[in-house]
Amino acid sequence: MDTGIEEAWKRLSLTTEEDTVVECEDEIVDECSEQITLCLWGKLHTEGYFNMNVMKTVFKNVWKPSRGVIICDLDKNLFAFQFFSPADSDYILNKGPLAFDGNTLLLRKITGYEQSSKVQFTHARFWVKAIDVPPIKQTSTFVKILGYNKSNLLCAADKSINFQVDVDVTKLLRRGMKVMMKGKPIRISFKYVKLPEFCYGCGRLVHILSIYEEAKEVDEDSNLPYGDWLHGSPIKPTRRNAEARK
């Protein structure tokens, strides 16, 4: 629902009929419930303009779902993706990160009980590379120690471990963290595969430095807290799967 309409409703004096709450029993299962399970909410993580028709064409051509997809405009920068196969919807939801014109596509499963205007888009799925991790710690258990619980984990030939996680786009990108190893703290750096444009000034994905609200105070030669060094190279997994070394 348009936010202007929603605010208008709050100011209106409702009639008794309009203000009456109608019971809707949970036992009533709509005939379209099966189709709903194959739907995804979608939103581009951007504050700028983009061509919706071009976006829909690009996604259809790139995804090539086996049984097709219908993309519906629900509101400005709010979409519903109707798939017709569980394999297709699951693949797109777990593929991540997905992007159009440098902007990340945020996706959510549709439960069927939420209003589209109330859906919160806060996470995007990325492959994260933890750099220079000691071999003995290249395990899923170590990934959980880092604060991530996803089980999708790969080792790589470049001394990194790679794990797929849902990154909170409302927060600053994590550049790494310190862990205690044999009584000595070591720093583990993070890189993000297919990371879209983001602000080198504040570390957020929603905008770039040119429109950063404090950009006028940042000199081009300054040492910015974030940079292109957060971009991770494509993953080249080894035959050894770290998941087996829990």
> Last residue of a domain, which of 53, 87, 118?
118
In a domain, 83, yes or no: yes
Higher-pLDDT residue of 244 and 29 is: 29
pLDDT tens by residue, 5-15: 667 767 777 77
Give percent of the chain above pLDDT 90: 34
3-state secondary structure of 106: strand
Q: 66: domain CATH number? A: 3.30.70.330
pLDDT tens by residue, 183-216: 999 999 999 998 988 888 888 886 655 545 454 4
Note the pLDDT of residue 37.
85
Is 50 exceeded by the pLDDT of residue 237?
Answer: yes
Q: Do 162 and 144 fall into the same domain?
A: yes
DSSP code, position 104 = E
Query: Which domain, by its residues, includes 139?
Result: 123-245
Reported as type and span, the H/E element at residue 34 is helix 33-36
> Last residue of a domain, which of 86, 118, 150?
118
Q: Do 114 and 159 fall into the same domain?
A: no
pLDDT band at 246 (very low <50, low <70, confident <90, very high): very low
pLDDT band at 152 (very low <50, low <70, confident <90, very high): low
pLDDT band at 43 (very low <50, low <70, confident <90, very high): very high
Please state, in angstroms and rounded to a whole number, the distance separating the CA atoms of residues 240 and 136.
Answer: 13
Q: Do 180 and 106 fall into the same domain?
A: no
For residue 184, what are the β-bridge partners? 181
Please state, in angstroms and rounded to a whole number, the distance separating the CA atoms of residues 80 and 67.
Answer: 16
Note the pLDDT of residue 6.
66
Q: Do 134 and 86 fall into the same domain?
A: no
Note the pLDDT of residue 3.
58
pLDDT tens by residue, 82-106: 999 999 999 998 887 889 988 899 9
Task: Give me the mean pLDDT over the 22-48 stretch.
Answer: 77
Higher-pLDDT residue of 23 and 144 is: 144
> Last residue of a domain, which of 85, 102, 118?
118
Rounded to the nearest integer, the mean pLDDT of the chain is: 80
Q: Do 112 and 138 fall into the same domain?
A: no
Closest CA to 166 of 71, 87, 95, 237: 95
Question: Do 129 and 215 form a contact (C-beta atoms < 8 A)?
Answer: no
Note the pLDDT of residue 95.
82
The full DSSP string for 134-183 is -GGG-SHHHHHHTT-----EEEBTTS-EEEEEEEETTSPPP-EEEEEETT
Closest CA to 55 of 69, 67, 71: 71
Closest CA to 67 of 51, 50, 82: 82
In a domain, 7, yes or no: no
Note the pLDDT of residue 70.
94
Looking at the structure of the chain, the number of domains it has is: 2
3-state secondary structure of 196: coil
Query: Best-predicted range by mean pLDDT among 21-25, 93-97, 164-168, 206-210?
Result: 164-168
